[in-house]
Amino acid sequence: MTSKTFIVIVIIALLIISCDDDAENITGLDFSGSNGVFIVNEGNYTYDNASLSFLEFSSQKIYNGIFFTANGTNLGDVAHSMLIYNNKGYIIVNNSGKIIIIDPDTGIMVEKLTGLISPRYVYNVNKTKGYISDLYSMKITMFDPEQNALTGFITVQNNNPINQHSTEQMTGYNEFVFIACWSFDNQILVLDSLTDLIVDSITVTKQPNSIVLDCLHKLWILSDGGFPGSAYGQEIAALTRIDAETRSVDLVLPFPSLSDSPVDLVINGSADTLYFINNGIYRMSVTDQKLPDKPSIVVRNENFYSLAVDPVTSIIYAGDAIDYQQNGLIYRFSPNGELIDSFRVGINPGSFCFKY
């Protein structure tokens, strides 16, 4: 062996050793026909370092930075949520004021909806109408998913400087869309998607951060109650049940103390089991009349930041932000709460979007 050959071998060996064994080294993307889950990594506020990861179920491989790989740049500033509808992936990039629309098979951006203020979630009514909630704009923005264009807005302004109806999560029942107003608010707005008018509002415990619809046509709303010292006031967090048909509150389950600040209420595919984070991860049936006493997944040394349940397998996904300044982890738990595995993803894994 000549010295040149030896050096080449050493360099190649070093390159192989130095590869990150956590993630696949991506050279091209094609997830067509693959089932999996997108992980939306928020990144850090004002740093433009949000990213997108994809866990392919068949290969059990995690692909990090797929938006960057496909498009040559990061997602933007604080990617908040994602929705796949009609084979388009809508990624809401909150502090970049835009929604990036990707091909979920390749990660390539096909279009973007710009000119928004502080978008949070997308809810698609049908192929030609979608709603965008917004933390600060005091309006629901309408868009046409077919044309990828903004088409109008529905004002929710109530001229209250504090209760300004910051719109957050949305869910639908028949033609009505129920919108949680989270920040400094306590309303669930009811939007008629046929007329695009706000037709009703329901008062719940302060700061409803998440909303789901169960198999019994009941809406479940998780309120964090606000925070200590807030001029808006703080109350004990609660899980509220509303009959979607009558729009009346029929059950309020308060948490034990003011220090409880639950988030991320999600529901499984059969819409009969609720999950949420309150330090640990709790699980309850939609027929339960009280909150669970103990978490089904106890925090050992994790910092649970986000939660999702696979609509097909009911496997639980939890994001771990660690110190909020490094690449986070996602954990997978069986429906019974047993740890299956974990994967290193991007900074602050904040939401999940399943691709089936």
Partner 1 sequence: MKNFKRHKIKYSFFLIFLLPAFPGIILSQSISDTIHIREVTIVQKDLLRESAVTLSKMDSFALGVTSKRNISELLSQHSNVYIKSTGRGTLSTASIRGTGAGHAQVLWNEIPINSPMLGQVDLSQIPVCFLDEITIYSGGSSLYQASGALGGIISIENRPEWDKETGGSLSSEIASYSTYNLSGRLNINRIKWTSKSRAYINRSLNDYPYLNTHVVPNTNEKLHNGEWTKSGLLQEIYFRIKSTDQFSFRLMCQHTDRNLPQPMSYEGAERKEYQEDRNLFAGLSWKHFGQSNQFEFSTAWIDNNLKYGLKSAEWDLYRIRSDGHEKCIMNRFHYTRQLGLKNKLNMQIRFNRYDVNMYEQISSDGYKAKRSDLSTMLNISREMSDRINAYMLFRNNLVDAHRMPVMPSLGVAVRVLKENELWLKSNISRNYHFPGLNDLYWIPGGNPNLKPEESYTADLSADLMLGNDFISFSSVLTGFVSRIDNWILWKPTQYGYWSPENIALVLSRGMEFSFKSSASFGFCNIMLRGNYSLCRTTNENSVYAADRSKGKQLIYIPVHTANIHSGISYNGFSVNYSLFITGKRFTQSSNEDAFYQNALNKYLLNDFILGKEIDMQDFNAGIYVGIYNIFNTSYQVILSRPMPGRNYSLALELSF
- CA–CA gap between residue 99 and residue 141 (Å, rounded): 12
Task: Tell me the CA distances in angstroms from 174 to 123, 139, 194, 213, 260, one per residue in order.
Answer: 14, 22, 10, 11, 33
Nearer to partner 1 (CB atom), residue 219 or residue 347: 347
Determine how many CB atoms are found less than 10 A away from the CB of residue 288. 14
Query: CB under 8 Å to 179, separation ≥6 — which residues?
Result: 133, 140, 156, 167, 168, 169, 170, 188, 189, 190, 191
Q: Considering only residues 252, 263, 291, 315, which one is a binding residue for partner 1 as defined by CB under 8 A?
A: 263
Q: Binders of partner 1 among 143-182, rule CB under 8 A?
A: 157, 161-162
Give the nearest distance from C-beta 25 to partner 1 in angstroms: 10
Q: Which listed range, 42-50, 173-181, 193-201, 213-221, lies at the site for partner 1 (CB under 8 A)?
A: 42-50
276 touches 266 (CB < 8 A): yes
Q: Which of 64, 171, 210, 268 binds partner 1 (CB under 8 A)?
A: 64
Build a one-symbol-per-residue string for 82-111: x at contacts with partner 1 by CB under 8 A, - elsewhere.
Answer: -----------x-xxxx-x--------x--
Cα first-last separation, the chain: 52
Q: What does the alpha-carbon distance between residue 281 and residue 263 come to, in Å, rounded to a whole number?
A: 10
Q: Which residue has the tokens 């986000």?
A: 306
Closest approach, Cβ 332 to partner 1, in A, equals: 14
Shortest separation between residue 2's beta carbon and partner 1, angstroms: 35
Q: Which of residues 317-336 bind partner 1 (CB under 8 A)?
A: 320-327, 329
Q: Quote the Cα angle for 219-356-302, to 5°.
A: 65
Q: Is 211 in the site for partner 1 (CB under 8 A)?
A: no
Q: Which of 32, 151, 203, 230 binds partner 1 (CB under 8 A)?
A: 230
Please tell me the distance from the alpha carbon of residue 260 to that of residue 290, in angstroms, as a whole number: 16
Asked if 77 interacts with partner 1 (CB under 8 A), we say yes
The residues that touch partner 1, with contacts defined as CB under 8 A, are: 20, 23, 44, 46-49, 51, 64-65, 68, 71-77, 93, 95-98, 100, 109, 112, 114-118, 136-138, 157, 161-162, 184, 224, 227-232, 261, 263, 279, 300-303, 320-327, 329, 342, 347
